[in-house]
Amino acid sequence: MDDELSINIASAALICGFFALWEVLCLLLGVSDLILPRPSDIVATLIDRFPVLWPHILQTLYTTLVGFALGVGIGVAIGVLIGVSRIAYGVAYPLLVGFSSIPKVAVVPIFVLWFGSGTTPAILTAMVICVFPIVVNIATGLATTEPELEDVLKSLGASRRQILWNVGLPRTMPYFFASLKVAITLSFVGAVLSETVASNRGIGNVMMSASSNFDVSLVFAGLMILAALGVALYVVFSMLERRVTGWATRKNDFAVT
């Protein structure tokens, strides 16, 4: 669609504009590169150090994705439980809310003490940090499912499991995908957090050692990499989302008619 294309171009232009503004403001206000380096600096560093950074990127991507996958699985399971059972709602919600209000920085050292440093605590942190948003959205989606839709299956004598599979979960997909966007960014944060505390590899470790050397542009290069990875995964989920929840966003199809 021509319309689609021009919107994409406009978006890309505005995003470039954002970085240009950053660059120009830094130059004009004379912001020290020790506080906030200019994008051009960061990109230069990125290109320069890329060969060294590459294995760390892979490591972080790996721990994040594994943790995220586990987190999604657990999140969906708990979310379904909470959405379906009143008791689970009363028990699991307060515990989860309490646990989520705790900064994960405080939890990572415990993981390290139990599992040693490195990949395992990073995966665990990425996992625990992303469970809650998924649980909340799945549970809300299930709780707000229109009874009329469930009645269609109930009248056929469907079991609760069948109703869940055929009505509850499909209906909850828009909620689920919304939570995935939040969860994936949190997973990155979690994995990196754990790496800064205890790991010899990963972007978190790079950023920590860079920041302890005041190599600020390398720190920001790390941040850029994280941002880019986050956006890349977001794009993947968006495409999936468009396929799966197209029925719920049909409004947009007609905005251009």
Q: Which residues contact another protein (rule: CB under 8 A)? A: 32, 34-35, 52, 56, 109, 112-118, 147-149, 151-158, 162, 166-167, 170-171, 173, 196-200, 205-206, 208-215, 245, 247-248, 250, 257
21 interface partner picked from a second copy, another protein, none, CB below 5 to 8 A per type: none
- For residue 128, the minimal CB distance to another protein (Å) is 18
Residue 168 binding result from another protein, a second copy, none, given CB thresholds of 5 to 8 Å by partner type: none
40 SS3 class:
helix
Contact 107, 132 (CB under 8 A): no
Using CA atoms, how far residue 166 sits from 157, 162, 163, in Å, is: 13, 6, 5
Distance CA 223, CA 37 (A): 12
Shorter beta-carbon distance to another protein: residue 34 or 240: 34
Q: With contact defined as beta carbons under 8 Å apart, do 82 and 88 qualify? A: yes
205 binds, among another protein, a second copy, none (CB under 5 to 8 A by kind): another protein
Looking at beta carbons only, is 101 or 212 nearer to another protein?
A: 212
Helix (H) or strand (E) holding 192: helix 169-197
Beta carbon nearer to a second copy, 110 or 152: 110
Q: What angle, 0 to 180 degrees and rounded to 10, lies between the N-to-C axes of helices 39-84 and 86-100?
A: 150
Closer Cβ to another protein, 87 or 106, answer by number: 106
